[in-house]
Amino acid sequence: MEHEEVKVRRGPRSGLPVVVAIHSRALGPAAGGIRLRRYPDWRDGLADALRLSEAMTAKNAAAGLDFGGGKTVIALGPDTEVTPSLREAALLDTGELIESFEGTYFGGPDVGTGPDDMVVVRRSTSRVFCLPPEHGGTSSSSIPTALGVFASLRAGARHVFGSAELTGRTVVVSGLGSVGALVAQHVAAAGARVVVSDVDPAKRASGYEWVDPEKALRTPADIVVPAAVGGVLSAELVPELSAPLVVGPANNQLTSEAVADELAARGIVWVPDFIASAGGAVYTLLREVEGVPHEEANARVEAIGATVSAVLDSARDKGTTPLREARARVAARLA
């Protein structure tokens, strides 16, 4: 087991399984979001927490943050009805479990939770980020996350196409959640033709061109942006990809690390997700822990583009993959 510490507790109020996985605290206290999601079995939620906490270690290390990686999962059953009272109970249970780490783990919003939920969590622990501004936090991390993805996308375009300009490029955004929708706005404003997809058909009204979710990653494009769930880039999918550049905020996009080699063998540049999606963590931790002003924190988010350029250039020069080069940078910092 690579993780430093894992706690699984049946919430005394909610009766729901709550998992906190701490992958590493080598650089400082672990930090990672609180995910509220349905799973076929609670052990699937445990597996998700293990994967995501490891990704947070890499994300924080690659971004130059003095934080380790952790993750919380509140595992709902397939048919669990999330009533307001159950939600409140689960969040209070989660806060108590986070508090038991005595300041070595901090949580924030993730899939299924938001800033208002963090207000409830704070009733059980002070180790929580991204509360609404009226409660002293920086609110949703979606805006800086999307800004970091856009900076990564431009850096990737410069590497692949010779220019960061997106005018006339076709960009497919798969997943119009809080981050994906903002990325779509950024690339549209930059002059790109934007094609979107989402499992929610109501989002067809977004005003962009639409493609069904199962066809999104296979759609002919210059750039594909995975912005929904992870595990979407598989060995079976790689031969069907036409876009020469893949960069997006979805966590754990590869079904296995071997897929990175297959992407490279086909001449497809994939920007490691733990680098591209780090903007939210960078902004939140700099602002709420180190007290860095907004402008300086934003500049650090935009500097993710320089990190992407360095990783891609080094991978090209060394004849390796961006994933291997990014992993090497993370390992060097952890060491």
Q: What does the angle CA 139 – CA 143 – CA 147 come to, to the nearest 5 degrees?
A: 150
Is 263 within 8 Å of 236 (Cβ atoms)?
no
Q: How far apart are CA 256 and CA 275, in angstroms?
A: 17
SS3 content of the chain, % helix, strand, coil (to 5): 45, 20, 35
Residue with tokens 């296995």: 256
Q: How far apart are CA 161 and CA 191, in angstroms?
A: 15
Nearest Cα to Cα of residue 18 among 165, 144, 121, 147: 121
φ, ψ (nearest 5 deg) of residue 68: -90, -165
Q: How far apart are CA 178 and CA 186, in angstroms?
A: 13
HSE-CB of 145 using CA atoms within 13 angstroms: 25
The answer to whether residue 71 is catalytic is yes
Is 239 within 8 Å of 266 (Cβ atoms)?
yes
Q: Which of 59, 71, 203, 318 is catalytic?
A: 71
Number of H helices, E strands in the chain: 11, 11
Residue with tokens 């709420």: 288
Q: How far apart are CA 121 and CA 166, in angstroms?
A: 41
Active site residues: 71
